[in-house]
C-alpha cells in the first residue's frame, strides 16, 4: 500500500455497534509480549491447528478438484503439490539419491506458495516458456486457449556449480536452508537467468536498491531451473503463526462452512489503521447493499519476505488481533490468515499476483488501494510507480476478468467536520494525511497520533515494537566509543 | 535480424531456373547511382505510382471493411485515418484554429503507420489505458473481450509548454517538422511520460545507448498525449520511394488481384543476402508442399528510423531490386514494399509489432529469424536479447494466434560440401558464418565475400555505398591537421 496513510476518526463505529466481542480475552494462551512468542487466533471460526488432511487416495501432482461456489481456481482445479503421507518415505529416499539444489529462505517461501496452489495452475518453478510469458504478457496461455494471470516470474535460480552437479539428471532434489529434504523437481529444464532483463521487465526500473533484487536476485545464480514440483511435506515455520497459514483449500472450506456468498480480500503488509478499517467495513456495507447476504472479509497480511523497515509479521499479526479485539473489525465476518508469498515491491506488476492468488483462495472481490505494492523510488525523490497505475493495470489484466476489483476509496481526517470521512478533492485543503514515516515517528517517540488513527490496543502493539527496536539498537552500540 | 549472417552459396538456383527476367532492365528511369536518386520498381506487378483512391463517400475515422480472403485485420476492420479529399479544406482550417503540438520526423512516421491501419484497431496515439496494456501485457483487450497484439507503445510525447498551450482544449492540431498541418488529434488525454519505466518495460534494460531511446525518448517531453487521429492527407516523403510505400489496404488488394492463397512476410532492415533468399525460396517450396497453389512473398523492408550504422533505406531498396533483377527472388511471386514503421531494436517485444502489422497487411505467414529486432547490448559484450527468445515470445504472443509463425532455418556455408546448406549442429565445425561487421569490412575494403554470399549486383550496390561513405568521411576531415 501507499506510504501515505489516511487518518480515520470513527465513523465506522456506527456500523459496528452490534459487533460481537472477540474471543481473544478468553484465549488462555494469549501472551501480550510482542515477539517471538506464539500467538492466539482471534478468529473464533478458524481452528487453532487446522491442518487439512489429504484424502487417502490422493496422489502428489494429481490436483484434487476443490471448488467453492464463489469463484473457480485458475485453470479450473486447485493445484496441490504436497506428497501424500503414505508416499513420503519413498520419495524422501529417492530425493537422497538425486543431485540437489539448495533453497534459500525465500525460495522456500515460493515452494510453500506453489505447494498449496496459490499460483494455480502452475505446477512448479517456471520453465522457460512460462517465464517468458510471465515476463512479457503477465499471463499464461493454457493448452485449451484460456488465459490465466501470472505477472511475477516464480523461478528458482541456481549457480554454475549446481548446474554442473545436476548434469543431465531429469530430476533434482531441493534441500531447505537447514539441509533438510524439501521437494523433488521433476523433468527439469535449465535456462539462462538474464537478471537485468528480469528486473527491468518486472520492476520497470533497474535502479539499485530494490529490496527483492538486493535480497534475492543480485546474489542468485546465472541459471533458472524449472520443473514439476513434488513437496515432501507441508511447509511449516514453527514460529507460533503456522495456524494462521491457511492454504487456499482450507480457506475455501472455511468460506463454504460459513456459507459466504461473497468473499472480499484485503491484502496488506502494514498495520491496520482506521482508514483501512473504514474501507473494509464500507465494502461490506456496499456488498450487502448489492444484495449479498453474507459477505466475508479475508484480511490477508503477507507473510513472506518484506523489506527491513516494514513492520515484522509477528508484530503485525498481534496488531491485527487487537483490531479485532477492539471491535474495529467484526470477527464473525472476518477471517485473518497469512498469505505466504514474499513481497517484490513491484507495484502494478505485483498487484496482479496479489489478486490472482486470492482468486485461488476463493475470493471473488479484491480491494485495491492507492499505489498497491509500491514504494518510493530507490534513487529518486518520487514514488516508484504512478499511484493510480496499480488499480488501472489490475482492472485490465488478462486472466483477472472474473474477479471483481473494488477500488479503494480514500479516507482522510476532515479538519472541518473533525471526523474521518471519504476524501473530497473539491476541498482538499480540509483533509489531513499522515505518512508512514510520520506514523513511525509517532510510535518511536511514544507520542499518540490524532484520535481515531488506529485503535488504542493496536497502537500499543506498535509502540512496544518500536521501543523494543530502540532498546535493541542501543544495546548494539559499542560499550566504549573510540575517541 | 542477427549480427551474424550466414553465407549462402547457390542451392536455391535449382529452384529458380525458370524464373522470369525482371523488368528492371527495361525501366527507362533506372539510374545506377546509389542515392538519393529516385528508383525503379523491380516488381512488374506493382504499378509505379499506385496511389489508392478513397471512395467518394468515405468518411475519416469510419473504417471501411477491407478484407482479403486470407486473414482478418486485427479488430475485424482495417483502420483508415486519412480525411477524404472533400473534407480536407474544412479540416485544415479547423486545424489552424486549434492549439498545436509539433511532430518530429519519427512522430510523423508513426502518424503514417497509424493513418494506414498498420496498428489496427488503434485509431490514434495511445491513451493511458492503451499505453498501460501495451507496456504490461503487450496486447489490448477490446470491448467485445477479444485481444489484439500491441507490444510497442505508439505514443506522442509533448513538453510542459505544449501541455500548457493545449490547456483544456479537447482537440489539438499536429504540425509536421516543416510546420505544415498534418493531423488533428481529437478528444485528447494527457498523461505522464515515465521514461524510465517505458524504457525498462519495452527494452528490458535501461542501459545508455539504445538507438530509439537516444534519438526519440531521451529528449522527449514529460507528457504523453493520446486521442483519435484524423490525418489531413496521405503522408508522403518525396524521396523517390513513395511508390513502394503500399498501405495495408493496397497490399491486400494486390494479394487479392494476384489470387494469393498464402502470403508470407519477411521483415528486414538489412541487405538481402543469399541466406535470406534460400530461406524465402525454401519457405515458398514448403508452402507449395503444404498444398498452397499460389504463395506470395511480401519482402517488406522497414522504412522508418534505423540506427546510424544500418544501411540506409534507399541503398537497401536498390540492393533489393538487384536481388530480383539477378533472379535470386522471383518477381512473379514477390511483392517488394516498404513498411513505414521506425525501428525500436527491442527484440522479442518489437518482433510482435513487426508480425502484427503484417497481419493487418494481409500476411498469414510470418518468417521469424534468429534474434529478430535484436542488437548488441549497448554496454556489455553480448547480444542484448537471447537470440532464441524472439521466436519463442512470438509463438506465444497474445493476439497472434491466427498468424502462422515460420521459424527461420539457419543456412550457412558448408566447407565440406563447398556449398550453402541448412546448418547441421552435429557438425558445426564444418560451417562458416560471416558477421555483419565482417560483411561491412568486406564492402568497405572492396574485397569480395566468399562466392554465393550475395548476388553480384546486390553486392556492388553495397560496395558503392560504402565507397561513397568513405569519400564523404574523408571530405569532412579537416584540411589542415592541428599539430
| pLDDT interval class at A41 (50, 70, 90) | very low
- Cβ contacts (< 8 Å) between B205 and chain A: which residues? 196-197, 200, 206
CA angle, B29 then B35 then B36, to 5°: 80
Task: Please tell me the predicted confidence (pLDDT) of residue A478.
Answer: 54
Flag whether pLDDT at A192 surpasses 80.
Answer: yes
Preceding peptide of B121 cis, ω within 30°: yes
Please state the ipTM of this predicted complex. 0.86
Mean pLDDT for chain B overall: 85
Poorest-confidence range of A220-224, A462-466, B19-23, B246-250?
A: B19-23
Rounded to the nearest angstrom, the minimum Cα separation between A226 and chain B is 17
- Cβ contacts (< 8 Å) between B385 and chain A: which residues? 197
**Number of helices (H), then strands (E), in chain A:** 13, 16
- Cβ contacts (< 8 Å) between B382 and chain A: which residues? none
Task: Please tell me the predicted confidence (pLDDT) of residue A472.
Answer: 85
Rounded to the nearest angstrom, the minimum Cα separation between B343 and chain A is 19
> pLDDT digits over B47-56, tens only?
332 222 333 4
- Answer yes or no: are the C-beta atoms of B101 and B166 closer than 8 Å: yes
Flag whether pLDDT at B67 surpasses 50.
Answer: no
Collapsing DSSP to helix, strand or coil, B470 comes out as: helix
Interchain proximity B147–A206, CB inside 8 Å:
no
Rounded to the nearest angstrom, the minimum Cα separation between B8 and chain A is 31
Q: How many CB pairs under 8 A join A and B?
A: 87
Buried b / exposed e over B115-127, threshold 16 CB at 10 Å, is: bbbbbbbbbbbbb
Q: Using alpha carbons, list the distances in angstroms from residue B81 to B86, B96, B371.
A: 14, 19, 33
Q: Report the residue from A204, A385, A398 with minimal CB separation from B398.
A: A398
Interchain proximity A200–B204, CB inside 8 Å:
yes
Task: Please tell me the predicted confidence (pLDDT) of residue B10.
Answer: 26
- Cβ contacts (< 8 Å) between B144 and chain A: which residues? none
Rounded to the nearest angstrom, the minimum Cα separation between B374 and chain A is 14
Interchain proximity B136–A138, CB inside 8 Å:
yes
* Furthest-apart CA atoms within chain B: distance in Å: 72
Map grid coordinates 503444404 to a residue. B290
Task: Please tell me the predicted confidence (pLDDT) of residue B3.
Answer: 32
Collapsing DSSP to helix, strand or coil, A309 comes out as: coil
Secondary structure string (H, E, C) spanning chain A? CCCEEECCCCHHHHCCCCCCCCHHHHCCCCCCCCCCCCCCCCCCCCCCCCCCCCCCCCCCCCCCCCCCCCCCCCCCCCCCCECCHHHHHHHHHHHHHCCEEECCHHHHHHHHHHHCCCCCCCCCCCCHHHHHHHHHHCEEECCCCCEEECCCCCCCEECHHHHHHHCCCCCEEEECCCCCEEEEEEEEEEEECCHHHHHHHHHCCCCCCCHHHHHHHCCCCCEEEEEEEEECCCCCCCCCCHHHCCCHHHHHHHHHHCCCCEEEEEEECCCCCHHHHHHHHHHHHHHHHCCCCCEEEEEEEECCCCCCCCCCHHHHHHHHHHHHHCCCCCHHHEEECCECCCCCCCHHHHHHHHHHHHHHCCCCEEEECCCCCCCECCCCCCECCCCCHHHHHHHHCCCCCCCEEEECCCEEEECCCCEEEECCHHHHHHEEEEEHHHHHHHHHHCCCCCCCCCCHHHHHHHHHHHHHHHHHHHHCCCCCCCC
- Answer yes or no: are the C-beta atoms of A114 and A88 closer than 8 Å: no
Task: Please tell me the predicted confidence (pLDDT) of residue B449.
Answer: 80
Interchain proximity B137–A139, CB inside 8 Å:
yes
Q: What percent of chain A has pLDDT over 90?
A: 70
Map grid coordinates 468460506 to a residue. A255
Residues of A within an 8 Å Cβ radius of B: 128-129, 132-133, 136-139, 141, 145, 147, 151, 192, 194, 196-197, 200-201, 203-207, 348-349, 385-386, 389, 392-393, 396-398, 401
| pLDDT interval class at B435 (50, 70, 90) | low
Per-residue pLDDT, averaged over A429-455, amounts to: 79
Rounded to the nearest angstrom, the minimum Cα separation between A98 and chain B is 30
Report residue A377 as a C-alpha cell: 523510488
d(CA A74, CA A397): 14
- Cβ contacts (< 8 Å) between A396 and chain B: which residues? 129, 132-133, 137, 141
Task: Please tell me the predicted confidence (pLDDT) of residue A43.
Answer: 42
Rounded to the nearest angstrom, the minimum Cα separation between A377 and chain B is 11
| pLDDT interval class at B58 (50, 70, 90) | very low
Task: Please tell me the predicted confidence (pLDDT) of residue A360.
Answer: 98
Flag whether pLDDT at B362 surpasses 90.
Answer: yes
Q: Which helix (H) or strand (E) holds A283?
A: helix A274-289
Best mutation target among B200, B352, B395 (most A Cβ atoms within 10 Å) is B200
Residues of B within an 8 Å Cβ radius of A: 128-129, 132-133, 136-139, 141, 145, 147, 151, 192, 194, 196-197, 200-201, 203-207, 348-349, 385-386, 389, 392-393, 396-398, 401
**Chain A residue whose CA is closest to B199:** A204
- Cβ contacts (< 8 Å) between B151 and chain A: which residues? 136
Output the DSSP codes for B260-319. -SEEEEEEESS---HHHHHHHHHHHHHHHHTT-S-EEEEEEEB-S---TTSPPHHHHHHH
- Cβ contacts (< 8 Å) between B145 and chain A: which residues? 401
- Cβ contacts (< 8 Å) between A397 and chain B: which residues? 136-137
Alpha helices, H only, B98-176: 105-115, 128-137, 160-166
d(CA B156, CA B136): 18
Task: Please tell me the predicted confidence (pLDDT) of residue A18.
Answer: 32
Rounded to the nearest angstrom, the minimum Cα separation between A188 and chain B is 19
Task: Please tell me the predicted confidence (pLDDT) of residue A146.
Answer: 95
Task: Please tell me the predicted confidence (pLDDT) of residue B69.
Answer: 62
Flag whether pLDDT at A62 surpasses 50.
Answer: no
- Cβ contacts (< 8 Å) between A206 and chain B: which residues? 200, 205-206
Report residue B87 as a C-alpha cell: 473534407
Poorest-confidence range of B15-29, B170-184, B311-325, B403-417?
A: B15-29
Per-residue pLDDT, averaged over B160-173, amounts to: 98
- Answer yes or no: are the C-beta atoms of A182 and A232 closer than 8 Å: yes
Q: Using alpha carbons, list the distances in angstroms from residue A170 to A111, A167, A341, A445.
A: 19, 9, 28, 57
Question: First CA to last CA across chain B, in angstroms?
Answer: 44
Rounded to the nearest angstrom, the minimum Cα separation between A386 and chain B is 9
Report residue B310 as a C-alpha cell: 544500418
Distance, C-alpha B313 to centroid of its chain: 10
- Answer yes or no: are the C-beta atoms of A201 and A346 closer than 8 Å: no
Flag whether pLDDT at A11 surpasses 70.
Answer: no
Report residue B79 as a C-alpha cell: 483502420
d(CA B9, CA A444): 77
Q: Which helix (H) or strand (E) holds B395?
A: helix B389-396
Task: Please tell me the predicted confidence (pLDDT) of residue B60.
Answer: 44
Preceding peptide of B36 cis, ω within 30°: yes
Count the neighbouring beta carbons within 10 Å of the beta carbon of residue A101.
24
Q: Report the residue from B128, B133, B205 with minimal CB separation from A206.
A: B205
Rounded to the nearest angstrom, the minimum Cα separation between B205 and chain A is 6
Count the neighbouring beta carbons within 10 Å of the beta carbon of residue B32.
11
Task: Identify the CA nearest to A343 among candidates A314, A366, A374.
Answer: A374
Map grid coordinates 535460480 to a residue. A157
Task: Please tell me the predicted confidence (pLDDT) of residue A71.
Answer: 94
d(CA B24, CA B3): 30
Preceding peptide of A249 cis, ω within 30°: no
Angle between helices A128-137 and B389-396 (to 10 degrees): 70
Best mutation target among B133, B142, B204, B352 (most A Cβ atoms within 10 Å) is B204
Mean pLDDT for chain A overall: 85
Rounded to the nearest angstrom, the minimum Cα separation between A201 and chain B is 5
d(CA A358, CA A248): 8
Flag whether pLDDT at B43 surpasses 50.
Answer: no
Q: Using alpha carbons, list the distances in angstroms from residue B327 to A450, B273, B420.
A: 84, 13, 17
Collapsing DSSP to helix, strand or coil, A427 comes out as: helix
Per-residue pLDDT, averaged over B198-212, amounts to: 98
Map grid coordinates 495452475 to a residue. A121
Answer with the residue of higher pLDDT: A138 or B423.
Answer: A138
Collapsing DSSP to helix, strand or coil, A112 comes out as: helix
Q: Which residues contact A61 (CB under 8 A, 6 or more apart)?
A: A81, A123, A228, A230
Query: Are β-strands A100-102 and A172-175 bridged in parallel, bridged antiparallel, or unpaired?
Result: parallel
Task: Please tell me the predicted confidence (pLDDT) of residue A454.
Answer: 87
d(CA B294, CA A226): 43
Q: What's this model's pTM, rounded to 2 decimal places? A: 0.86
| pLDDT interval class at B418 (50, 70, 90) | low
Flag whether pLDDT at A218 surpasses 50.
Answer: yes
Task: Identify the CA nearest to A367 among candidates A275, A241, A303.
Answer: A275
Buried b / exposed e over A153-190, threshold 16 CB at 10 Å, is: bbbbbbbeebbeebeeeebbbbbbeeeebbbbbbebbb
| pLDDT interval class at A436 (50, 70, 90) | low
Interchain proximity A132–B396, CB inside 8 Å:
yes
Poorest-confidence range of A7-21, A285-299, B330-344, B448-462?
A: A7-21
> pLDDT digits over A255-303, tens only?
999 999 999 999 999 998 888 888 899 999 999 999 999 999 999 999 9
- Cβ contacts (< 8 Å) between A389 and chain B: which residues? 132
Residue B222 DSSP class: S
Flag whether pLDDT at B9 surpasses 50.
Answer: no
Task: Please tell me the predicted confidence (pLDDT) of residue B177.
Answer: 96
Task: Please tell me the predicted confidence (pLDDT) of residue A420.
Answer: 65
Alpha helices, H only, A126-186: 128-137, 160-166
Flag whether pLDDT at B259 surpasses 60.
Answer: yes
- Cβ contacts (< 8 Å) between A137 and chain B: which residues? 137-139, 396-398
Interchain proximity A132–B389, CB inside 8 Å:
yes
d(CA A400, CA A403): 5
Flag whether pLDDT at A68 surpasses 80.
Answer: no
Flag whether pLDDT at A59 surpasses 70.
Answer: no
Best mutation target among A130, A197, A210 (most B Cβ atoms within 10 Å) is A197
Most confident range (mean pLDDT) of A67-71, A399-403, B35-39 is A399-403
Question: First CA to last CA across chain A, in angstroms?
Answer: 44
| pLDDT interval class at B443 (50, 70, 90) | confident
Report residue A303 as a C-alpha cell: 507473510
Answer with the residue of higher pLDDT: A54 or A202.
Answer: A202
| pLDDT interval class at B445 (50, 70, 90) | confident
Q: Report the residue from B139, B200, B393 with minimal CB separation from A204.
A: B200
Collapsing DSSP to helix, strand or coil, A14 comes out as: helix
d(CA B447, CA B459): 11
Amino acid at each position: 500500500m501507499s506510504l501515505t496513510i489516511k487518518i480515520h476518526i470513527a465513523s465506522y463505529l456506527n456500523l459496528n455497534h452490534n459487533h460481537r466481542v472477540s474471543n481473544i480475552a478468553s484465549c488462555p494462551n494469549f501472551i501480550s509480549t510482542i515477539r517471538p512468542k506464539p500467538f492466539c487466533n482471534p478468529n473464533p471460526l478458524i481452528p487453532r491447528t487446522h491442518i487439512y488432511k489429504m484424502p487417502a487416495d490422493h496422489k502428489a501432482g494429481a490436483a484434487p478438484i476443490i471448488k467453492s461456489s464463489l469463484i473457480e481456481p485458475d485453470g479450473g482445479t486447485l493445484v496441490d503439490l504436497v506428497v501424500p503421507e503414505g508416499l513420503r518415505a519413498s520419495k524422501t529416499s529417492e530425493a537422497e539419491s538425486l543431485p540437489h539444489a539448495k533453497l534459500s529462505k525465500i525460495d522456500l517461501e515460493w515452494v510453500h506458495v506453489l505447494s498449496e496452489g496459490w499460483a494455480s495452475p502452475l505446477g512448479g518453478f517456471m520453465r522457460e516458456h512460462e517465464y517468458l510469458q510471465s515476463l512479457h504478457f503477465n499471463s499464461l496461455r493454457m493448452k485449451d486457449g484460456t488465459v490465466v494471470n501470472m505477472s511475477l516470474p516464480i523461478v528458482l535460480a541456481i549457480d554454475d556449480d549446481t548446474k554442473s552437479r545436476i548434469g543431465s539428471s531429469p530430476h533434482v532434489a531441493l534441500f531447505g536452508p537447514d539441509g533438510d529434504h524439501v521437494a523433488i523437481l521433476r523433468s527439469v529444464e535449465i535456462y539462462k537467468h538474464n537478471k537485468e532483463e528480469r528486473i527491468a521487465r518486472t520492476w520497470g526500473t533497474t535502479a539499485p536498491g530494490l529490496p527483492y533484487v538486493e535480497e534475492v536476485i543480485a546474489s542468485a545464480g546465472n541459471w533458472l531451473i524449472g520443473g514439476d514440483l513434488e513437496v515432501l511435506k507441508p511447509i511449516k515455520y514453527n514460529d507460533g503463526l503456522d495456524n494462521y497459514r491457511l492454504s487456499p483449500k482450507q480457506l475455501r472450506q472455511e468460506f463454504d462452512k460459513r456459507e459466504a456468498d461473497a468473499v472480499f480480500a484485503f491484502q496488506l503488509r502494514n498495520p491496520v489503521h482506521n482508514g483501512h478499517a473504514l474501507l473494509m467495513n464500507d465494502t461490506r456495507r456496499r456488498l450487502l447493499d448489492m444484495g449479498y447476504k453474507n459477505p466475508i472479509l479475508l484480511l490477508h497480511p503477507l507473510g513472506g519476505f518484506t523489506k527491513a523497515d516494514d513492520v515484522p509479521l509477528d508484530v503485525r499479526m498481534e496488531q491485527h488481533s487487537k483490531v479485532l479485539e477492539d471491535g474495529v473489525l467484526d470477527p464473525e465476518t472476518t477471517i485473518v490468515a497469512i498469505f505466504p508469498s514474499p513481497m517484490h515491491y513491484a507495484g502494478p506488476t505485483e498487484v496482479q499476483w496479489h489478486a490472482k492468488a486470492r482468486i485461488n483462495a476463493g475470493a471473488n472481490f479484491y480491494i485495491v488501494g492507492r499505489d498497491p505494492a509500491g514504494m518510493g523510488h530507490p534513487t529518486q525523490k518520487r514514488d516508484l510507480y504512478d499511484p493510480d497505475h496499480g488499480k488501472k493495470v489490475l482492472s485490465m489484466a488478462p486472466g483477472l476478468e472474473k474477479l471483481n476489483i473494488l477500488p479503494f476509496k480514500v479516507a482522510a481526517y476532515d479538519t472541518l467536520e473533525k471526523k474521518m470521512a471519504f476524501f473530497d478533492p473539491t476541498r482538499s485543503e480540509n483533509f489531513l494525511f499522515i505518512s508512514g514515516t510520520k506514523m513511525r515517528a509517532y510510535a518511536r517517540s511514544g507520542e499518540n497520533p490524532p484520535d481515531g488513527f488506529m485503535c488504542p490496543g493496536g497502537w500499543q502493539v506498535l509502540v512496544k515494537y518500536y521501543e523494543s527496536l530502540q532498546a535493541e539498537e542501543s544495546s548494539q552500540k559499542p560499550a566504549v566509543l573510540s575517541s
